[in-house]
């Protein structure tokens, strides 16, 4: 039994070490359904190695490995297997509690949003918030689900709640600016846009991420502003050719 446990821990350790080496920011990875474009050849190889170790830890364990499954799910997502990632996150959440469960459900909801499965995303995000009411990013993603489902007032309420809890959220303030503009509330829209600009890092990839998220919500004017700023700041051609 001790030898078996040690073997599982060995694979968990190597899988976790690979997980810690991931250099793709979550915000960039979650900007679109397939984040594979952001992986270098070395980064991809690191993830493949980590995936093997975490799969081994999960298969060899006598019980469901709720520590390894969320990391394995993120590996799958980065490698482009979104369906497998969603499945693993749901499986992990079923065996977790508290913050760990809320995080698994949040990432599951965010990925489902990228896949256009907004009803499922909202349900997952609601579960995350039921577990941890203070998870602000889940409120942002829930706002996206609601907006895409046509529940605009509820989406605005979710985003407003998020920025009241943290006024520095650049993406959410941009989303509120786009929402208010679409409703003809231009003064409120300008206020949120100024607040967003105040807290937006002057980083080309960050501007590209915001542009991509706004574009998916149909907020094209604001999206174009950020795509243009990304192009101005891009020093070495890191920006994708397509949006």
* pLDDT tens track, the chain, 243 positions: 444 465 677 778 888 899 999 999 999 999 988 888 889 999 999 999 999 988 887 775 544 467 889 999 999 999 999 999 999 999 999 999 999 999 999 999 999 999 999 999 999 999 999 999 999 999 999 999 999 999 999 999 999 999 999 999 999 999 999 999 999 999 999 999 999 999 999 999 999 999 999 999 999 999 999 999 999 998 766 666 556
Q: Using an 8 Å Cβ cutoff, are 154 and 174 in contact? A: no
User: DSSP labels for 109-177?
Assistant: HHHHHHTT-HHHHHHHHHHHHHH-TT-HHHHHHHHHHHHHTT-HHHHHHHHHHHHHH-TT-HHHHHHHH
Supply the pTM of this predicted model: 0.90
- The pLDDT of residue 75: 95
Closest CA relative to residue 175, chosen from 149, 206, 145, 213: 213
Longest Cα–Cα distance of the chain, Å, equals 67
- The pLDDT of residue 57: 79
- The pLDDT of residue 10: 76
206 phi and psi, to 5 degrees?
-70, -45
Tokens 């605009």, residue? Answer: 152
User: What token pair was written down for 76?
Assistant: 């799958």
Using CA atoms, how far apart are residues 209 and 171, in angstroms rounded to an integer?
9
44-to-69, 108, 220 alpha-carbon distances in Å: 19, 22, 32
Provide CB contacts within 8 A for 111, sequence distance 6+. Answer: 30, 33, 77, 82, 85, 86, 89
Q: Using an 8 Å Cβ cutoff, are 46 and 98 in contact? A: no
Q: Based on C-alpha coordinates, what's the Rg of the chain?
A: 19
- Where do the H-state alpha helices sit in 94-131? 98-114, 118-131
- The pLDDT of residue 1: 41
- The pLDDT of residue 21: 94
- The pLDDT of residue 67: 80
- The pLDDT of residue 4: 41
Using CA atoms, how far apart are residues 127 and 40, in angstroms rounded to an integer?
34
């Amino acid at each position: 039994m001790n030898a078996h446990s040690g073997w599982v821990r060995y694979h968990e350790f190597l899988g976790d070490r690979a997980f810690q080496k991931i250099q793709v920011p979550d915000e960039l990875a979650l900007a679109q359904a397939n984040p594979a474009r952001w992986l270098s050849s070395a980064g991809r190889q690191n993830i493949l190695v980590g995936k093997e170790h975490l799969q081994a830890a999960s298969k060899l364990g006598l019980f469901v490995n709720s520590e390894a499954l969320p990391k394995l799910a993120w590996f799958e997502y980065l490698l482009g297997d979104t369906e497998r990632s969603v499945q693993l996150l749901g499986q992990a959440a079923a065996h977790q509690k508290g913050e760990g469960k809320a995080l698994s459900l949040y990432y599951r909801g965010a990925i489902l949003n990228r896949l256009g499965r907004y009803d499922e995303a909202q349900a997952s995000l609601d579960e995350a918030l039921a577990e941890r009411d203070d998870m602000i990013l889940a409120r942002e993603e829930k706002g996206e689900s609601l907006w895409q489902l046509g529940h605009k007032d509820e989406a605005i309420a979710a985003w407003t709640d998020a920025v009241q809890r943290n006024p520095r959220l650049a993406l959410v303030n941009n989303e509120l600016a786009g929402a208010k503009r679409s409703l003809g509330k231009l003064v409120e829209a300008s206020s949120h846009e100024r607040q967003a600009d105040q807290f937006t890092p002057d980083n080309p990839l960050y501007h590209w991420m915001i542009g991509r998220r706004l574009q998916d919500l149909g907020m094209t004017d604001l999206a174009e502003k950020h795509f243009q700023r990304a192009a101005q700041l891009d020093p070495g051609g890191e920006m994708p050719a397509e949006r």
